Amino acid sequence: GEDITAFASLMSSPSTSIITTITPSESSSGVKPVQADELDGFNQDWMNKYKGHSQCVLKPKTTQELADVMKYCYEKRIAVVPQGGNTGLVGGSVPVEDEVIISTANLNSIREFDEVSGTLVCDAGCILEVLDNHIAPKGYMMPLDLGAKGSCHIGGNVATNAGGLRFLRYGSLHGNVLGLEVVLPNGEILDGLSTLRKDNTGFDLKQLFIGSEGSIGIITGVSIVTPRRPSAQNVAVFALDSFEAVQNVFGKVKSHCGEILSAFEFFDQDAFELVQGHATAGVKDPFEARHPFYVLIETSGSNKDHDDEKLSGLLEELMEGGSITDGVMAQDETQVGSLWALRESIPEAAGKYGSVYKYDLSMPIPKMNELVLDMRARFEERGVIGKDKTIKTVVGYGHIGDGNLHINIVADRYTPETEALIEPYIYEWTAKQNGSISAEHGLGVMKAEKIGYTKSKTSVAYMQKVKDLFDPKRILNPNKYLPAQRS
């Protein structure tokens, strides 16, 4: 297409350097210079924390076009960064320097949907919510859901192995993705768009690309199995007075509603206050007072009467045993949305309040709140936390049902000094619990050098070999995902 012709003419002078700067002045063939303001949205990440200065964004319309671009880049050794919806939270989707940005925005066709098996095959640039809306009338839903659903691409979800709000019920993309079509760094197309549920023939290569964050190939097509959309859904938010109570309630919820449970999320009072003060819409406080902790539970089933019965059994036990101090249950779709907004708008509210240092950690559930308290104490000791101080607030929330804590530290701005107050302390703390420094957001540029807190030297060495096997010239997403290697 036009983009590629433009690219080829811009690139016509042979280059051997890994990073090639394309300035409008190099364009001798009537190619329209790219306007700086158009580029900003592609160069800047969602948090305004990471910014590259690429002069070139390509939006191929077909897998073959993308393959042609990669072949060219491989020959000339030009670095590229794959970009989906640019909602990633570790700086992986934007250039570190001036890498060419390859956006999947124009790879957005739904290829097929099988209504018997629930198998969906689509282009990588389809927006998650668009896919969910497409299959909803057919009685199906996407097996993942996240706050960024209105802009993230399914290819980006697969590339980050996104977890999200219903991981607890539907599991990882490692289980739900049935096949992938991938353009390799040298332009070869790895055509693996299988729709088979079972296929034990050789290495399952697609698994390598799930969670590879654009380091070894660009995903162009996704085949994914989708579950039935539940006909009955209930959402409740409970208020609790301690983190012990949160854990206790988790046990009780599982024993009453285990097989219909589709989400178990928690947020602390500071996260709740943040949303009350800074989120945009639909976040009215449904309670009369503020509470130290909140949990949101969702059930999804096929028989409303059965589910209601199970929930009333649960509520009875929780109220009688004093496990919760208050609770609200959604009575209709609108209230379902409002209760979910209390949890889903935490990242947005944090971003409105200041510059956010985000930590996405796996650890034993009992340790989670200890870390949040420890971080607050650390800042208090140094006198840096408060409304008008360097650190405005520290909030804890997340997918407690999956052992995944999110800590958002909202600062007045991003500075190396503030970062040094948090890192490596928080990573060391997590490593001591044998936790993970990235439960679901990935490594990107933020944590490429930190992988050793969670993975052994041997594992990292084999990861480097996989990288070299697919991308020997290291043109895909340089400076990200894995520690820098000497060439």
Q: Which residues bind ligand 2HG (CB under 6 A)?
A: 89, 147, 347, 358, 360, 398, 406, 408
Separation of CA 341 from chain center: 18
Q: 162 contacts which partner out of ligand FAD, ligand 2HG, none, CB within 5 to 8 A by kind?
A: ligand FAD
Cβ proximity to ligand 2HG: between 89 and 451 the closer is 89
Residue closest to ligand FAD, measured at CB: 156
How far apart are CB 406 and ligand FAD at their closest, in Å?
Answer: 8
Task: Provide the 3-class DSSP secondary structure of residue 58.
Answer: strand
| 3-class state of residue 203 by DSSP | coil
Task: Work out what residue 122 binds among ligand FAD, ligand 2HG, none; the CB cut-off runs from 5 to 8 Å by kind.
Answer: none
Long-range own/partner contacts, residues 378-382 (CB < 8 A, 24 or more apart): 378/421, 378/425, 379/421, 382/421
The packing angle between helices 368-381 and 243-257, to 10°, is 160
Would you say 315 or 365 has its CB closer to ligand FAD? Answer: 365
In this complex, which beta carbon is closest to ligand 2HG, that of residue 181 or of residue 360? 360
Q: Which residue is nearest to ligand 2HG (CB)?
A: 347
> Cα(409)–Cα(355) distance, rounded to whole angstroms?
8
Residue 406 near which of ligand 2HG, ligand FAD, none (CB within 5-8 Å, type-dependent): ligand 2HG
Helix, strand, or coil here: 71?
helix
**For the window 140-159, what string marks contact with ligand FAD as x by the rule CB under 6 A?**
------xxx---xx-xxx-x
Minimum distance from residue 212 beta carbon to ligand 2HG (Å): 19
Q: Is 238 left (phi over 0), alpha (psi -120 to 50) or beta?
A: beta
Place of tokens 């939270």: 89
219 contacts which partner out of ligand 2HG, ligand FAD, none, CB within 5 to 8 A by kind? ligand FAD
Sign of CA dihedral 75, 78, 81, 83: negative
Q: What residue 358 binds from ligand 2HG, ligand FAD, none (CB within 5 to 8 A, per partner kind)?
A: ligand 2HG
Nearest distance in Å: CB 147, ligand 2HG: 5
Give the chain's length.
487
CB of 306 to ligand FAD, least distance (A): 29
The nearest distance, CB 68 to ligand 2HG, in angstroms, is 35
Q: What span, in angstroms and rounded, lies between the C-alpha atoms of 444 and 40? A: 19
Q: Parallel, antiparallel, or unpaired: how do β-strands 100-103 and 57-58 relate? A: parallel
Instruction: Identify the three-state secondary structure at position 450.
Output: helix
Select 144 or 385, whichever has its Cβ closest to ligand FAD. Answer: 144
Report, in Å, the least distance between residue 70 CB and ligand FAD.
11
Min dist CB 267 to ligand 2HG, Å, is: 10
* CA 158/CA 147 separation, integer angstroms: 16
CB of 441 to ligand 2HG, least distance (A): 6
With H, G, I as helix, E, B as strand and everything else as coil, classify residue 351. helix
Binding mask 75-104 for ligand FAD (x = CB under 6 A): ------xxxxxxxxx--xx----------x
Count other Cβ atoms within 10 Å, centred on residue 131.
24
Cβ proximity to ligand FAD: between 307 and 471 the closer is 471
- How many residues form the binding site for ligand FAD (CB under 6 A)? 37
Q: Which does 60 bind (CB under 5 to 8 A by kind): ligand FAD, ligand 2HG, none?
A: none
CA–CA gap between residue 241 and residue 264 (Å, rounded): 17
Long-range contacts formed by 32-41: CB under 8 A, 24+ apart: 32/6, 41/86
Q: At what angle do helices 368-381 and 425-432 cross, to 10 degrees?
A: 150
Confirm if 149 and 81 have CB atoms less than 8 A apart. no
Say which entry of ligand FAD, ligand 2HG, none residue 223 contacts (CB below 5 to 8 A, set by partner kind). Answer: none
- Nearer to ligand 2HG by C-beta: 3 or 440? 440
The CA distance from 406 to 274, in Å, is 14
Residue 60 binds ligand FAD (CB under 6 A):
no
The alpha carbon torsion through 359, 365, 367, 370 (nearest 10 deg) reads: 70
Biggest CA pair distance of the chain: 78
Residues from 436 through 465 that contact ligand FAD (CB under 6 A): 440-441, 444
Where does this chain bind ligand FAD (CB under 6 A)? 46, 81-89, 92-93, 104, 124, 146-148, 152-153, 155-157, 159-160, 162-165, 213-214, 218-219, 347, 440-441, 444, 477
